[in-house]
Structure formats: structure tokens, C-alpha cells
Amino acid sequence: MKIICIGRNYPEHAEELGNEKPESPVIFIKPDTAKLQSRSPFYIPPFSNEIHHEVEVLVKIRRIGKYIEEKFAHKYYQEIGLGIDFTARDLQQNLKDKGLPWEKAKAFDGSALIGNWFDKDNFTDFKKLDFKLNKNGTIVQKGNTSQMLWSIDTLIAEVSRFFTLKIGDIIFTGTPSGVAPVVENDILVGYLGEEKAFKVNIK
């Protein structure tokens, strides 16, 4: 199982980090060891002083595919979810400045929080779905899937040009604005529509 992440898929988030809006989706991968076990706390790793939360809508792939046409992409997923792409922003900035790959900042153990899964048909319209992240009782990030620069179906078509998608692969579809550091004892709760998708304690 692999985790495919999309960067800069919401215009306001690209702006807040001073990034240009890309001409095509930014894609990177986290290994299966990045998955944070459910109900496990997130432990701030010793190599970073600035771990950011990035709340993102997730898509679970349910059939194998390569060169998937956008018009058929909807057949490749039934469940969507919500998670966090934990990012060592200090390390990432350092790597970006040097033009180096981001893996150490993005793909470390525990960096992919994967919440509960929901049938996409349970939502009135999952392509216009609100989601939010609550930190210690305050909403710190909120978005709507309609704000994506590239829709889920477009992303599946684009990603599968480069990487064969396999059953159980997960796509992180990018974060809206509001990314910020986490500190010890923070409690993060994510909601997809009205559904509670995860709760995680920062240690």
C-alpha cells in the first residue's frame, strides 16, 4: 500500500506558503510506514521544531489501474475519508531552499494520519463537501472539496499516468489554508461533513 499526496491543490494554501499555483498537481509519496495507527497519539519527532497539521480529504483506491481516464475515475473509489499530512515545515523549507526532495519532511514514520472511512454515496454531494480541523476546541482549518484546483477524478487520472494505482492505495488530496504548528498536548479533531473522522493527541 502506498500513500500518494497532492500539494498545492487549494489556491489559498499555495498563497499562504508563498508558492506559485502549479501548472499541474504537485505529487509526492509516503511509504506505508508513514501511516499513523488509529488511536495512536502523534509523537513530535526529534528532528523538527515545527510540525504543521495539514488536514486533507482522503480517497481509498478500490481497483487496480494505470492510465485511468478521468471519465472512468469514479469507478476506482467508493470510500472517502479525512486525515492529516503532518509536515516538518522547518525541514521542508530547508530542503526546498536547496532544491532537494521532501521525503524527510513529509514521509517520516507517523506522518500520515488516516481517519475513518465513509461511503461517498452517504454524502449529498461529496464534490461540494465541507471539512474542518478543530484544535483544542477552535476551528483552525476549513475547506470545501469544491475548492480543489484539481478534482478527485482529475487527480486519479493524473496520478495514474505515473504510478499504477493498487487496491488500498490512499490519495491525500491537498490541504486548504490555515496550516500551523502543533505542540505537545494539542488535541486535533477532524470532521468530514458532519461526520467525526478522527481525534488525535499530540505528544
Judged by the rule CB under 5 A, the positions of this chain that interact with Mg ion are 54, 85, 175
Number of residue whose CB is nearest Mg ion: 85
Q: In what order do the strands lie in the sheet with 26-30?
A: 26-30, 3-7, 170-172, 55-61, 77-85, 112-119, 35-36
For residues 102 and 123, which CB has a smaller minimum distance to Mg ion in the complex? 102
Nearest Cα to Cα of residue 80 among 179, 189, 200, 173: 173
We find the least distance from the C-beta atom of residue 87 to Mg ion, in angstroms, to be 7
Nearest Cα to Cα of residue 60 among 118, 16, 17, 104: 118
For residues 18 and 137, which CB has a smaller minimum distance to Mg ion in the complex? 18
We find the least distance from the C-beta atom of residue 13 to Mg ion, in angstroms, to be 8
We find the least distance from the C-beta atom of residue 124 to Mg ion, in angstroms, to be 26
We find the least distance from the C-beta atom of residue 20 to Mg ion, in angstroms, to be 16
We find the least distance from the C-beta atom of residue 72 to Mg ion, in angstroms, to be 26
CA distance 78 to 177: 26
Nearest Cα to Cα of residue 83 among 57, 62, 46: 57
For residues 19 and 122, which CB has a smaller minimum distance to Mg ion in the complex? 19
For residues 45 and 75, which CB has a smaller minimum distance to Mg ion in the complex? 45
For residues 87 and 134, which CB has a smaller minimum distance to Mg ion in the complex? 87
CA distance 199 to 94: 30
Cβ atoms 86, 110 nearer than 8 A: yes
